[in-house]
Structures are given as structure tokens and as C-alpha cells.
Amino acid sequence: MFRRLLTIAAGATLAGAATLAFAAPAHAATVDVPFGPLSIGDYCHSKYSAAWIGFYEASGLRCYNASVTPMQYVGSGDPYLACKYLTPDVVMSAFRGSADALVCRVIR
């Protein structure tokens, strides 16, 4: 009887340890991360050395040289690739936010 009780106790202990070792992983969350003109400018500068600021306008992601008045258009960029450049998270999509911000939908 003692041996049977000892076997059941050992089995219960192993089952408890197995439950802790194989706990369900944390769920990933979908998050919208906004980036403003200066952050977009970092991406723009990696493409165009004269670009220091960027906006996600109705016509697309556009890069500007802000050191001259008025700002000078330098070139355009890809919103999805800008998100990949600006965040280490897994990027699902990129879209235009308020005030010409770049919003990256990522998985964390």
C-alpha cells in the first residue's frame, strides 16, 4: 500500500512539473505603431542622403530636404519597407495615419 501511495505521489509530482514545463506560450498581439516625420526621415535618409524629413501624404510616402526653404522634394519611398526599417517587429501592413504619419501594423 505504501509503494502504491508513493507511486501515485510521484506521478502527481511529475504531472505538475510537466504542466509547468509545457505551459502555453504567450499570445502575440497586433499593435499599431505610429511614426512621425523625423522617424520617416531616418528611413528617407537611408535612401536619399539629402532627405531629413518624410511624410506619408495622399500621393504616397515622400521624402524632403528640410535644410532649405521651402522644403525640397527629394524622392519617394515604400511605406511597408519604411516600417521594416523602423521597427524590429514583424510588419503586417503600413497605412497613413493622422497628420501624415506612417502607421505600422505589427505583431509583438
pLDDT digits (tens, 9 = 90+) for 53-86: 999 999 999 999 999 999 999 999 999 999 999 9
Query: What CA–CA distance (Å, rounded) separates 97 from 95?
Result: 6
Query: What CA–CA distance (Å, rounded) separates 89 from 73?
Result: 29
CB-based contacts of 23, cutoff 8 Å, min separation 6: none
State what percent of residues in the chain have pLDDT above 90: 74
Query: What CA–CA distance (Å, rounded) separates 75 from 19?
Result: 55
**32-51 mean pLDDT:** 97
The whole-chain average pLDDT of the chain stands at 85
Nearest to 40 by CA among 29, 26, 49, 51: 51
- Residue 86 sits at φ, ψ, to 5 deg, of -90, -20
Q: What is the pLDDT of residue 38?
A: 96
CA angle 92, 96, 99 (to 5 degrees): 140
